[in-house]
Amino acid sequence: MPMIPNLKFHDGREMPQFGLGIWQVPADTTAEVVKDALDLGYRMIDGAAAYRNEEGLGTGIRQSGLDRDELFVTTKVWNHGKGYDETRQSVAESLSRTTLDRFDLILLHWPFQDTESYVAAWKGLIDAQAEGQVTSIGVSNFHEAHLDRLIQETGVIPVLNQIEVNPKLQQSEMRKVNAAREIVTQSWSPLGSGRSFDEEIVQQIAERVGKSAPQVILRWHIQLNNAVISRSENKQHLAANMDIFDFELSKSEMDAMSQLQTGERTGPDPETFDGK
């Protein structure tokens, strides 16, 4: 079983650097996927209210038989147009659906800047944390201006910002913004829908280390010091995705990987996404 390193938060807590994401996992198979991942040694599971499979997340955790303290569980508040009260209700509903006593991390899912409600939602998470419903709080898909507004108006800095990162969208500037505020960057869509699998440098590294293209790319994320979540419904693929801690990319290979940047997204742009 691979030894997955932890990343430290500025609030003194820490999380596994690598874990399972359950976006687009069907509700009726989520429990099985979560249990398979936990059986393989995954200890961080990333969910969200908007994924509509939190019940399966909770069931998979219960079926694993693991102690709650061994796990790191994330969910997200879909905060489009929601203020303080709605955010508190969303947290309570996620706890009820999963039957967990607390989350380790809750994120605001998008800034939805057209609604101007994310600061009120953030205040809701601050109070949820104070009351023990969640241990750490962060955001997802926030840009610099969004982060700074939260910090200026509440004095509370998110511990993590989950953003789209993959070889075609490397987000070097946003990663610097996060690092300057001691915010962990977590990568979603880390494989970029496979768009970089056939790139020459990826294939060369894969041949050198005897790994697959997805494993090479996931290892690249680890060496960027990002937290990273991967997704699969296949147990063999889950095992392969986690098998990335027995090799390294050289500095020259990391430099070559940086040349794959095109700025192409697989998901929405936080500056324009309206939640639809």
264: left (phi over 0), alpha (psi -120 to 50) or beta: beta
For residue 73, the cross-strand partners are 45
Residue with tokens 């079983």: 1
Given this model, what pLDDT does residue 1 score? 67
What is residue 113's predicted lDDT score, i.e. its pLDDT?
Answer: 74
Query: What is the Cα–Cα distance from 167 to 259, expressed in whole angstroms?
Result: 8
Q: pLDDT value at position 81? A: 79
Element (H, E) at 45: strand 44-46
For residues 247 and 136, what is the distance between their CA atoms, to the nearest angstrom?
A: 31
Domain parsing of the chain, residue ranges: 6-194+224-234
User: Is the Cβ–Cβ distance between 133 and 92 less than 8 Å?
Assistant: yes
pLDDT value of position 214: 98
51 is catalytic: yes
The pLDDT value recorded for residue 191 is 98
> Of these residues, 42, 51, 84, 118, which one is catalytic?
51
Question: pTM score, two decimals?
Answer: 0.97
What is the per-residue pLDDT for 210? 98
Q: Name the CA radius of gyration of the chain, rounded.
A: 18
The pLDDT of residue 175: 98
Domain 6-194+224-234 fold is: TIM Barrel (3.20.20)
Which parts of the chain sit beneath pLDDT 50? none
